[in-house]
Amino acid sequence: MGHPVAVTDQDFETQVLKATMPVLVDFWAEWCAPCKMIAPMVEDLAIEYDGKVNFVKLDVAANPETSVKFGIRSIPTLLLFKNGKPVDQVVGAVPKAVLKKRLENALK
């Protein structure tokens, strides 16, 4: 893959909850400036972790059901799923090194 794939309320279960690999979900919206700030970092990490972690993006404005289900109150929120369950969460625009460390910890 190598790049975050857009998911929707309809395919979230298949793409994320039933995935065999860990999945990082980027909850974002078009109007969110911090979301746009972290997008290049998420892209870089998607390439770096290709084959180890799947990366997906969920537009909260277009897909409110999933956002509500996982209690997303502010964006950007990055949720890391493992075996269909959220195992880590990062809220807000954080440095790439922070995201990388959280990914490494989750992969152990």
The catalytic site residues sit at 32, 35
Report the Cα 66 to chain-centroid distance in Å.
12
First to last CA, the chain: 22
Go through 57-84 and write b for each residue having 16 or more CB atoms within 10 A of its CB, e for each that does not.
bbbbeebeebbeebebeebbbbbbbeee
